[in-house]
Amino acid sequence: MSQSKGTVVLAYSGGLDTSCILVWLKEQGYDVIAYLANIGQDEDFEAARKKAESLGAKKVFIEDLCKEFVEEFIWPSVQANAIYENRYLLGTSIARPCIARGQVEIAKREGAQYVSHGATGKGNDQIRFELTCYALYPEVKIIAPWRMPEFYTRFQGRNDLMEYAQKHGIPVPVTPKSPWSMDANLMHISYESGILENPKTHAPPGIFQMSKDPEVSPDTPDVLEIEFSKGVPVKVINVKEGKSVDSPLEMFQYLNTIGGSHGVGRIDIVENRFIGMKSRGIYETPGGTILYHAHMDIETFTMDREVRKIKQGLSVQFSEQLYNGFWYSPECEFVRCCIATSQESVEGKVQLSVFKGQVYILGRESPKSLYNEELVSMNVQGDYDPCDASGFIKINSLRLKEYHRLQSKAGKPQ
């Protein structure tokens, strides 16, 4: 028996692609450790374990990362109001560093020099996986079969994979593949490629799995109160039912349940990938969408205007870093640190209703708000002297008058 080329930790999903990759890697002479991260996707993890073992994996690690995914990755994104290109809540982007960190930990622990994954060569995920691996384990070697000519010329379509599977005793899916691909985790499900590649084609009805169609969702809203401390939720109450949850994972799951039942968080967008292509993606992010709106509200309520403006600038940068795969980078560490600082006083309760795909903010309160009801009141003069506003306006008009003077001199029409 020939000597092993070394050990590779493969990000294994249990599906056809990574099962073939597992066998192919063995064929190439590697020992393969299968690694499957549970970040909330709907999966039969034990079946996957058995499958990997049966395909010859030296070891199989199935790690439940749900809790750390919420606390270490989703929470900072909530604090940041992270959103890519004004619309995408980054559900896939944020999961990748969490998964890859787990993979690298196993590789280091098990003395594996290689990691491998089944991400394609045109997407963002390859970058997110690999930048995390290189950042945390710079000496690692990465095997990305879908970028290796010897692999991708051999497997040019699904049929080639099916054939290979049959030949190598890899269980073949019995149900036909949906005409698009999807990626699921606790935060969202994304749908792309296949028939969705035509950006004009409407998504087929019934594509969504986390959220109910608003046309058939309940006819009465749910009203929630979400309490925040330091910019993250600490309690979620269903006002009518009186139900209350307060651990991070449970809160997020509950928000998914409520949001999902009302069809919240569905978008259909064209986005710009890091590698420079435009791609069409359909996403559903029920709990994340509720939190996005609720956090935005409590933050604007409690944070100084100018701090907020600077913080929003940082958020745009954070969102791009996240999307492009730079969670573990000096700049993202720096920005996360700045954003965390900004959240010190983001504290209070937001009431909102969830109904037919929408989140409606109803009211908010905070012990730390800069909102001053007396100051802003139309009925109370308070401490405020309206004459000051005249001076304020006149000073602000100085530049405009000078500009007008110059334009007039130049004979420009006003």
Residues 222-261 that bind a copy of itself (CB under 8 A): none
Cβ atoms of 37 and 102 within 8 Å: the answer is: yes
Confirm or reject binding of residue 127 to a copy of itself (CB under 8 A).
yes
Site membership for a copy of itself, residue 272 (CB under 8 A):
yes
* CA atoms within 13 A of residue 236's CA, in its CB half-sphere: 26
Report yes or no: 191 and 203 within 8 Å, Cβ to Cβ. Answer: yes
Residue 5 Cβ, how far from a copy of itself at the closest point, in Å? 19
Among the listed residues 252, 243, 356, the one whose alpha carbon sits nearest the alpha carbon of residue 294? 252
User: Which of 22, 61, 274 has its CA nearest to residue 169?
Assistant: 22
Q: Is 181 in the site for a copy of itself (CB under 8 A)?
A: yes
If binding is defined by CB under 8 A, does position 113 make contact with a copy of itself?
no
Residue 49 or 266 with smaller CB distance to a copy of itself: 266
337 binds a copy of itself (CB under 8 A): yes
User: How far is Cα 105 from Cα 353, in angstroms, rounded to an integer?
Assistant: 41
15 lines the binding site for a copy of itself (CB under 8 A): no
Element (H, E) at 336: helix 330-342
Which stretch in 48-56, 66-74, 169-177, 323-331 sits in contact with a copy of itself by CB under 8 A?
323-331
Cα gap 259→250, rounded to integer Å: 14
- Considering only 62, 106, 249, 370, the residue that binds a copy of itself (CB under 8 A) is 370
Catalytic residues, by residue number, are 17, 96, 125, 181
| Cβ proximity of 328 and 189 under 8 Å | no
Nearer to a copy of itself, 94 or 135 (CB): 135
Q: Does 211 bind a copy of itself (CB under 8 A)?
A: no
Site residues (CB under 8 A) for a copy of itself, limited to 52-81 = 81
Residue 85, CB half-sphere, CA atoms under 13 Å: how many? 15
Which of 176, 206, 276, 413 touches a copy of itself (CB under 8 A)? Answer: 276
Nearest residue (CB) to a copy of itself, 256 versus 351: 351
Kindly state whether residue 269 participates in binding a copy of itself, applying the rule CB under 8 A.
Answer: yes
The first and second tokens of residue 98, run together, are 């969490």
